């Protein structure tokens, strides 16, 4: 968000990871009082376009979708959504169902689901 508030330049904001020369991150910085206005801005649109033209893949890590307009704004511009959920968490199935419905209404494709917290079970196979 710092870059959207003109508190940092793009070069100052993007960091190349030391263990992977072809992987970059841009931390969000401090949460602004008006994130929806910033994410709906022309500057955000231009920034996303620049990322699309520069990188092979861009992933925006966002908070849970439930009722957040700013997440829907970014998802609409990004073109697809990869959901992340914790398996076994109370209410996870209902939250996924609700989110799937909202994304379908907004015509945003879900490209997959990442399941966190999956227990590692040993399976014995018999021939």
How much is the mean pLDDT over the chain?
A: 82
123 inside domain: no
Helix, coil or strand: residue 81:
strand
Q: Is 84 helix (H, G, I), strand (E, B) or coil?
A: strand
Residue 98 has pLDDT above 80, yes or no: yes
Co-location of 6 and 51 in the same domain: yes
The reported pLDDT for the residue numbered 72 is 73
Is residue 124 in a domain? Answer: no
Tell me: pLDDT of 106 over 60: yes
CB 35 within 8 A of CB 1: yes
Same domain, 1 and 31: yes
Are 80 and 40 found together in one domain? no
Q: Which of 77, 96, 76, 78 is nearest to 86 (CA)?
A: 96
- Which SS3 state, helix, strand or coil, does residue 93 take? helix
Residues 68 and 46 in one domain: no
Q: How far apart are CA 33 and CA 66, in angstroms?
A: 19
In a domain, 125, yes or no: no
Res. 115: pLDDT tops 80: yes
Give dist(CA 15, CA 113) in Å, integer: 26
Spatial distance between the Cα atoms of 109 and 104, rounded to a whole number of angstroms = 7
Strands (E), 1-127: 15-16, 24-25, 81-86, 110-116
pLDDT digits (tens, 9 = 90+) for 38-95: 888 899 889 999 998 999 888 888 777 655 676 777 777 787 888 888 888 888 888 8
Residues 86 and 48 in one domain: no
- Of the pLDDT bands very low, low, confident and very high (cuts 50, 70, 90), residue 21 is confident
Q: Looking at the structure, tell me whether residues 52 and 68 fall in a common domain.
A: no
Q: Which domain holds residue 74?
A: 62-117
| Domain shared by 50 and 34, yes or no | yes
The residue ranking higher by pLDDT, 98 or 1, is 98
pLDDT surpassing 80 at residue 101: yes
How many domains are there within the chain? Answer: 2
Q: Is residue 122 part of a domain?
A: no
Percent of the chain with pLDDT over 90: 7
């Amino acid at each position: 968000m710092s870059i959207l508030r003109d508190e940092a330049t793009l070069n100052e904001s993007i960091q190349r990871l030391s263990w992977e020369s072809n992987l970059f991150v841009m931390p969000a910085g401090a949460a602004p009082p008006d994130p929806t206005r910033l994410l709906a801005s022309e500057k955000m649109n231009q920034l996303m376009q620049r990322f699309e033209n520069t990188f092979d893949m861009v992933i925006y890590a966002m908070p849970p979708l439930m009722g957040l307009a700013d997440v829907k704004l970014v998802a609409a511009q990004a073109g697809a959504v990869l959901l992340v959920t914790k398996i076994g968490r109370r209410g996870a199935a209902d939250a996924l169902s609700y989110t799937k419905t909202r994304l379908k209404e907004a015509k945003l494709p879900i490209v997959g689901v990442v399941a966190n917290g999956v227990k590692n079970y040993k399976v014995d196979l018999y021939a």
